[in-house]
Amino acid sequence: MQAEAFFNELWTDYVSIAPQAQKIHDLFVVTDGEVINDHVAFRTFANTPLRLDLLEPLILAMGYERQDSYEFNAKKLRAHSYIHSNPLLPKIFCSELLVDQLSDSAQKIIGKYTAEITEQSLHQSVFWSGRHWAMPSWDDYSTLMAESEYGAWLLAIGVRVNHFTVSINHLTTTDAIHEVLDRVKAAGYKVNTVGGEIKGTPESLLEQASTMADRQIFEFSAGDQHEIPTCFYEFAKRHADAQGVVYQGFIEANADKIFESTNG
């Protein structure tokens, strides 16, 4: 699959459960014209037929190369980022939950559902395929949420993009992240305040911020319905280093706080 078609499919799935993203996107289109996507991100479970090492070849097949690797010890995650030779194509950030580092009870809950994943040849469409297991019970979801918000989110939402990102560098009306956030908040959207509204500094070469995830009602396995977080929209401002090269990577401390956008 060509990268452009891949991102079109992703966007369609994304805004179906995060309609705020379409509205915020359109808000900036009115004043800035085209909105360039800086990056997208995915979540998956380690040690399953959907593990990171099996998803990576699908990303590389679209002309990407691995950019860097990351560890989030507190959240029991590892991740890779990917970059394309075309600078206008979004970077990709893909992480996985290291299930075997969780408590026995959390491992048992996750294992009950991931055992349902069918071994199969994977295609890029897996990135908007959702759950490969039955919808969890509310009890299982809630129990897992207490230990791993990431795991509970993934158990309910499945393999789908969890955010797109407005590239502030490519906006025409402002290049200041605080001005972007002021517009988003004025439009009525809540932003992630964990670690401050803006994560990172110009000195670290990357400033990031995000909305709090949209919310949608899901029907859990016993037929009970609950409103839970879905996906969010991010905003990124990249700065140039002393040599004038604009930073293209990610910063673990920033990303750790951005993960919290689906918490709540």
Which residue numbers in the chain have pLDDT < 70? 264
pLDDT score recorded for residue 264: 65
Q: What pLDDT score does 28 carry?
A: 97
pTM: 0.96
Which residues have C-beta within 8 Å of that of residue 134, sequence separation ≥ 6? 113, 116, 221
Contact 140/109 with Cβ under 8 angstroms?
yes
**121-147 confidence digits (pLDDT tens):** 999 999 999 999 999 999 999 999 999
**pLDDT (tens digit per residue) in 156-206:** 999 999 999 999 999 999 999 999 999 999 999 999 999 999 999 999 999
Mean pLDDT for the chain overall: 96
Q: What domains, with CATH codes, occur in the chain?
A: 3-262 (3.10.180.50)
Helix (H) or strand (E) holding 100: none
Instruction: Give the three-class secondary structure for 53.
Output: helix
Determine the Cα angle at 222 with ends 221 and 224, to 5°. 100
Q: CA-to-CA distance for 197 and 40, rounded, in angstroms? A: 20
Q: Report d(CA 43, CA 50) in Å as an integer.
A: 10
Angle between helices 149-157 and 104-114 (to 10 degrees): 20
Query: Which residues neighbour 203 within 8 Å (Cβ) at sequence distance 6 or greater?
Result: none
Which value, to the nearest 10 degrees, does the dihedral of the CA atoms of residues 87, 89, 90, 91 take? -60
pLDDT of residue 21: 98
